[in-house]
Amino acid sequence: MIDKIAWLYLRDGRILSTRSRGKSVFYLPGGKREPGESDTETLIREIREELTVEIDPANIEPAGIFEAQADGHAMGLLVRMTCYTAEFSGTLAASNEIEEVAWLGYEDRGRVSAVDKIIFDHLLETGLLR
> What's the full length of the chain, in residues?
130
Confirm if 99 and 19 have CB atoms less than 8 A apart.
Answer: yes
**Average pLDDT in the 23-35 region?**
94
Burial of 57 (0-12, 13-18, 19+ CB in 10 A): exposed
Q: Where are the beta strands (DSSP E) in the chain?
A: 2-7, 10-11, 14-20, 30-32, 54-55, 61-69, 78-85, 88-89, 98-104
Q: Any idea where the domains of the chain sit in the sequence?
A: 2-125
Is domain 2-125 in CATH 3.90.79.10, yes or no?
yes
Query: What global pTM score does this model have?
Result: 0.93
**Phi and psi, residue 92, nearest 5°:** -60, 130
Q: pLDDT tens for residues 48-100?
A: 999 999 999 999 999 999 999 998 888 999 999 999 999 999 999 999 889 99
Q: pLDDT tens for residues 9-19?
A: 999 999 999 99
